[in-house]
Structures are given as structure tokens and as C-alpha cells.
């Protein structure tokens, strides 16, 4: 089945630690995105990538880093510089140049700082 | 600044009625507007897209309208069912090529049997 997979579903981080959230898609999509969702808030864009080996900052990139070494994979690292990392993280992908531009989302990773 | 507004209060309706959700925006020139459904603890799922030159789009029990003069989209679910209970998000994709979805905070819909 084609889709987008995030792992793990739940992640606990100690203060000062870096953690990496995985996102893999087999939809052959060029574009991939990371969003953060806080309770009662909309999705806020962290980073996006439209081509391998290239990515752009979104609205709230501080304290986060990404890589795009393969078309299928777009991991997100939450660094110790992110002061309030507890949130629900969503990865998405979409086709470029497609008039429908529908975004497909993973099931999310809930990150908690302990 | 750019803003997308959806009613933060939950919408409670009785089964069988039509639910109407609103998405207003300011300082945007969207090429497309999308609606997604999100269930608790899960990622959003795409429902419908409407283009800036379209007034209305339908899919089964769903209808979306788009008024670029009012800067507003309405999302209707007819003959609503308890299974329609979820949060509904609107997303705007601006013209200019990148088409990165920018989301509102969503409105929770609760359909009572």
C-alpha cells in the first residue's frame, strides 16, 4: 500500500537531548513537509523540501533541523535549542506540478519532554 | 499579516441536519483552498479542493463554496451522522508556485444521535 509512515508514534525526550523523528513515503512525491500542532492550534510549518538535497525553513524552524538525502525520506531532528518541543508532529507529502496538490499526512509523532 | 480564521468553538448539531463550517482569511491570494478532516491523535485526511475560479464543489454529502470577494469558504455536510464528528481544517495554497498548504486551527464538529 502506498502511503506515508511516521515513527515512532510516541517519543519521550529528556531535557538537553536531541531526538530524530522519522518520515518515509512511497508515493513518489517530490515535496515533503513537517508541521507542528499544539492543542487548539492549527498546523504550523517547520520545514519543507521540494527536491532531494534541498529544503527550506518554514514559519517556526528555530530549534529544528532536517535532511533530504533520499526522495522517500525526510527526517526531523528536534534539538536541545528548541525550548518547548512537547507537541504533535506531522509529516506530509504532495506532488509538485499537480493541479490537485493534495497533501498526504502520516499518523503523527507525539513528543513529550520529561 | 496573513491570517486564516476558523471558529474555535465546537459546532454541535443533531444527526440528519446540515453542518456548516466557516473559513475566513485575510491578506492572502489563494490559488486553491482545501478542506481536511482530522480525528483525535491522527493526521489530517484530505476531503475537497476548490480553485479560486470555482464557486462551488461537491462530493457526495460534502459541499464547499469559495467567495474570493468575501475572502471566505463555507464547508457543508448534509445529512450529518455521528461518524462525521471530527475536527475540520481549511488550508490555503497561495499562488506563486510553491503551493505549500497553510492551515487554520480547525473547527470541531460534534454530531449528536
Q: What is the pLDDT of residues A13-37, one digit of tens each?
A: 888 899 999 999 999 999 999 999 9
Please tell me which residue, B96 or A45, carries the higher pLDDT value. Answer: A45
Residues of A with CB below 8 A from B43's CB?
Answer: 6, 90, 92, 105-108
**B72 Cβ neighbours under 8 A, 6+ residues apart:** B22, B23, B24, B25, B66
Residue numbers of A between 55 and 74 with CB closer than 8 Å to B: 58
Nearest CA in chain A to B88: A42
pLDDT tens, per residue, chain B with 113 residues: 778 999 889 999 999 999 999 999 998 888 889 999 999 999 999 999 999 899 999 999 999 999 999 999 999 999 999 999 999 999 998 776 677 889 999 999 999 99
Residues of B with CB below 8 A from A108's CB?
Answer: 41-43
Which grid coordinates belong to B62?
460534502
Instruction: Dump the DSSP string for A59-96.
Output: TT-TTEEE--SBTTB--EEE-TT-S---EEEEEEEE-S
The count of C-alpha atoms lying within 13 angstroms of the C-alpha of B35, restricted to the half-sphere facing its C-beta, is 28
**Statement: residue A110 has pLDDT above 90:** yes
Q: What is the pLDDT of residues A86-102, one digit of tens each?
A: 999 999 999 876 566 78
Q: What is the pLDDT of residues A59-74, one digit of tens each?
A: 999 999 999 999 999 9
Residue numbers of B between 22 and 81 with CB closer than 8 Å to A: 32, 34, 36, 41-46, 49
Q: Is the distance from CB of B58 to CB of A109 less than 8 angstroms? A: no
CA B62/CA B71 separation, integer angstroms: 20
Amino acid at each position: 500500500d502506498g502511503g506515508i509512515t511516521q515513527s515512532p508514534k510516541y517519543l519521550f525526550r529528556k531535557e538537553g537531548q536531541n531526538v530524530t523523528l522519522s518520515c518515509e513515503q512511497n508515493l513518489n512525491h517530490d515535496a515533503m513537509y513537517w508541521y507542528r500542532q499544539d492543542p487548539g492550534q492549527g498546523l504550523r510549518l517547520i520545514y519543507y523540501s521540494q527536491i532531494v538535497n534541498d529544503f527550506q525553513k518554514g514559519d517556526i524552524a528555530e530549534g529544528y533541523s532536517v535532511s533530504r538525502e533520499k526522495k522517500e525520506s525526510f527526517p526531523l531532528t528536534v534539538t536541545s535549542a528548541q525550548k518547548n518541543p512537547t507537541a504533535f508532529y506531522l509529516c506530509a507529502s504532495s506532488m509538485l506540478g499537480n493541479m490537485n496538490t493534495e497533501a498526504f499526512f502520516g499518523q503523527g509523532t507525539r513528543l513529550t519532554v520529561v | 499579516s496573513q491570517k486564516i480564521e476558523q471558529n474555535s468553538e465546537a459546532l454541535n448539531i443533531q444527526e440528519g441536519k446540515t453542518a456548516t463550517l466557516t473559513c475566513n482569511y485575510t491578506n492572502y491570494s489563494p490559488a486553491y483552498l482545501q478542506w481536511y478532516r482530522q480525528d483525535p491523535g491522527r493526521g489530517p485526511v484530505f476531503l475537497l479542493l476548490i480553485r479560486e475560479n470555482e464557486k462551488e464543489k461537491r462530493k457526495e454529502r460534502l459541499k464547499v463554496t469559495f467567495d474570493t470577494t468575501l475572502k471566505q469558504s463555507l464547508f457543508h455536510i448534509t445529512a450529518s451522522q455521528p461518524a462525521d464528528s471530527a475536527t475540520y481544517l481549511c488550508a490555503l495554497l497561495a499562488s506563486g508556485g510553491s503551493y505549500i498548504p497553510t492551515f487554520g486551527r480547525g473547527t470541531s464538529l460534534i454530531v449528536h444521535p
